Structure 1
Amino acid sequence: MPAFGRAESWTPGAEPGEWLKRAWLLGRCGTVRITGAEVLRVSGSVAVAALAVLEASGTPLGPVLANRARFTAEIVVAAGTGATWPALPGTNCVEDAVMRCPAPDVTAACRRRTGGRTWICAPGPERPATTDSDVLCEAITSALVKLASPWFALARPARSGGTRLA
Structure 2
Amino acid sequence: MTKYADLPYRPCVGIMLANRQGQVFVGQRIDSKEGDAWQMPQGGIDEGESPEEALVRELGEETGVGAHLVDIIARSAHEHLYDLPDPLIGKLWGGRYRGQAQRWFLVRFKGEDGDIRIDTPEPEFDTWRWVEADQLVDLIVPFKKPVYRDVVAEFRALL
TM-score higher than 0.5 here?
no
Higher relative contact order (CA 8 A, sep 6+): 2
Higher strand share: 2
**TM-score of Structure 1 vs Structure 2, range by shorter chain:** under 0.3
Scaled by the length of structure 1, what TM-score is found?
Answer: 0.26
**TM-score scaled by length of structure 2:** 0.27
